[in-house]
A and B are shown apart, each in its own frame.
Chain A
């Protein structure tokens, strides 16, 4: 189904307004886009983290569909249980045979790249028919901006700080999407909320896929990245223009890059608008910018190669 803006505007939001996310937070935008794209009734889950906290402060809830939060590291396992119950109850006639329900588990990068990595791996390997969406804001934001394995090299966080002898995180980020692809699931994609059409089409593909699907979606956090609150979507767009955050999908071993910038923007401009990288512009740290650019180029060229190989 093509994403039709007029039709979408007529659908009530599944994630209601009035939740307690920071003004300018990209994560609820991601969640709203993801849930609006679903063509069947939804059951959603979320790992402990910003989005669980801000959407479910008892006795209120922003969720207009059934929702479960269990703990930090088990969003994938918990939703595996929900999906298994669906299959069992359908088989036993307690849910009508023609009743289709889609299952979406959410988690932040801490809950997905790090503490929930095993639970995610288990869900993918067992082949549950569900979509896992990681809203990736590149650090533990809910607990106050600590380094995760999704944090880019050089970024300052509260646990990997920039000071007189340290320059933020020392390691490159984990390529989680590649780790997921190694599980050979039914569908994998990276997306960004600035390109909602691309994101929502991917969600629809993911939910139609006959098995586990995974999407990693960039969700800039102005508190942690330190940019102007109104800029989140634009910061996401520039991450794609620099090829730091490529939009691509992986289906049955084939890579498709969904957007190739005509002219790849240098990373420096994107880094410059984020306070978490400000120390990199001191002379002693400039080499880190070069290293980040080199890593971004390496990953982009690798992806181009993968896409080329897919065509063969």
Chain B
């Protein structure tokens, strides 16, 4: 089932794009995404892909080009990070409402200001309401696997939504790991041909894309996006299972680690979920029944699924690598809202790792220690992990 390789997360995602060989890529540099497109440009320069790479003059144009190409009927990709995503913002929403199945690796990086090039989730979280599917990756292997699956999910006729596959800046994007790539023909067969139902380049059947949509239709069109998000939950699970058959690595909406009998559960996104598994093992050695729920799919938000997986816990700690200022951790608030009326489990918000500040096994063990207090009724105010006093 494929061959073993040593690659950074960026190289892994670039290799997924190489195997897909999309029709068009809209490209603009930003750290830490840049290396991904260096790799892809090298594939193009050496004839490994024949994608039409359009080197834009900004991320705003990179996303606009990608939207134009996708509306034209092409399989279109782009990639970005942080401020780049922020500059794309307006068109990120338009891509989703135009129901264009664009795939975009998003290399998580702190949003300015102050300027900082390192990992947190403020960029991705900022467009959680944009109508994009958002899938988080724990490591380079998942970055590769998720990128391949993203095409199948986004292009599914019941979904037709753009999909961002996120990987943590530097922690995953620039860290060399061992991973398995599918054979090229297996990957190509899995992703398949893209056959859009409507395309600008089908000049015999003219369609108008992006019309003015007023009070009498806009609301219904927005509700169609709600339905597509709902449909995506099942499609993501189906595609994840099918991917398991060809790769030996199945994917669902989330992944548990020692969750079945866990009394103290940490919920995390991305690379931190991996660090948390080590903390779980060390806590278990000390007799604490610890577990991790790694949320893979953030949009659509799998509320019922999360509640099911948290049943039985004495306390739940939710780790956010971003802040909704004036509110707190977005993931924490969404999970607590999902549990309302269904779970009486006390929940605690932990905010950590902003601007790339490291998160250690010891700190996550500290989170589990805190959760013991949470379970016995300690006031559940937001904790800031690793913040200097």
Contact = CB atoms under 8 A, between A and B. Distances in A.
Contact of A82 (B68, B210, B211): B68
B304 interface: no
B262 interface: no
A56 B212 contact: yes
Interface residues of A, number: 44
Contacts of A125: 57
A190 B196 CA distance: 38
B52 A85 contact: yes
Contacts of B61: 74, 77, 80, 118-119, 122
A122 B56 contact: yes
A74 B24 CA distance: 17
A85 B212 contact: no
A122 B58 contact: yes
A83 B159 CA distance: 26
Interface stretch (B139-147, B199-207, B241-249, B327-335): B199-207
A70 B202 contact: no
B55 interface: yes
Interface stretch (B71-79, B165-173, B277-285): B71-79
Interface in B56-99: 56-58, 60-61, 64-74, 76, 90-91, 94
A78 B58 contact: no
A34 to B, nearest CB: 17
Contacts, number: 163
A222 interface: no
Contact of A88 (B51, B64, B202, B214): B51
Contact of B214 (A57, A74, A126): A57
Contacts of A119: 57-58, 60-61, 64
A303 B64 CA distance: 35
A70 B210 CA distance: 6
A101 B213 CA distance: 28
A57 B212 contact: yes
Contacts of A67: 200, 206-209
Contacts of A283: none
Nearest to A72: B90
From B26, B50, B52, residue with most partner A Cβ within 10 Å: B52
A101 B72 CA distance: 12
A91 B49 CA distance: 12
A118 B24 contact: no
B41 to A, nearest CB: 15
B306 interface: no
A68 B210 contact: yes
A43 B208 CA distance: 10
A63 to B, nearest CB: 5
A309 interface: no
Interface string A29-73: 000000000000111010000001100111101011111111101
Interface in B232-283: none
Contact of A81 (B68, B94, B213, B217): B68
Contacts of A42: 203
A52 B68 CA distance: 16
Given A58-B217, A81-B72, A82-B201, A70 B212 contact: no
A97 interface: no
A84 interface: yes
A114 B182 CA distance: 48
A253 B336 CA distance: 66
B225 to A, nearest CB: 15
Contacts of B64: 70-71, 74, 77-78, 80-81, 119
A59 B54 CA distance: 32
Interface in A115-155: 118-119, 121-122, 125-126
Contact of B65 (A58, A80, A86): A80
A82 B212 contact: no
B190 to A, nearest CB: 19
B288 to A, nearest CB: 52
A179 to B, nearest CB: 15
Contacts of B66: 81
Nearest to B67: A70
Given A119-B61, A122-B56, A85 B211 contact: no
Given A56-B211, A82-B200, A88-B51, A45 B68 contact: yes
Interface of B: 23-24, 26, 50-52, 54-58, 60-61, 64-74, 76, 90-91, 94, 199-203, 206-214, 217
14 contacts: A41-B203, A43-B203, A56-B212, A65-B203, A68-B68, A78-B65, A79-B68, A81-B24, A81-B69, A82-B68, A82-B72, A85-B72, A88-B52, A89-B74
Interface of A: 41-43, 45, 52-53, 56-59, 61, 63-71, 73-74, 77-82, 84-89, 91-92, 95, 101, 118-119, 121-122, 125-126
Given A56-B210, A65-B203, A71-B64, 14 more contacts: A45-B68, A58-B214, A61-B208, A63-B206, A68-B208, A69-B209, A74-B61, A82-B69, A84-B74, A89-B72, A101-B203, A118-B61, A119-B57, A119-B60
The 4 closest A-B pairs by CB, nearest first: A81-B68, A122-B57, A85-B72, A85-B74
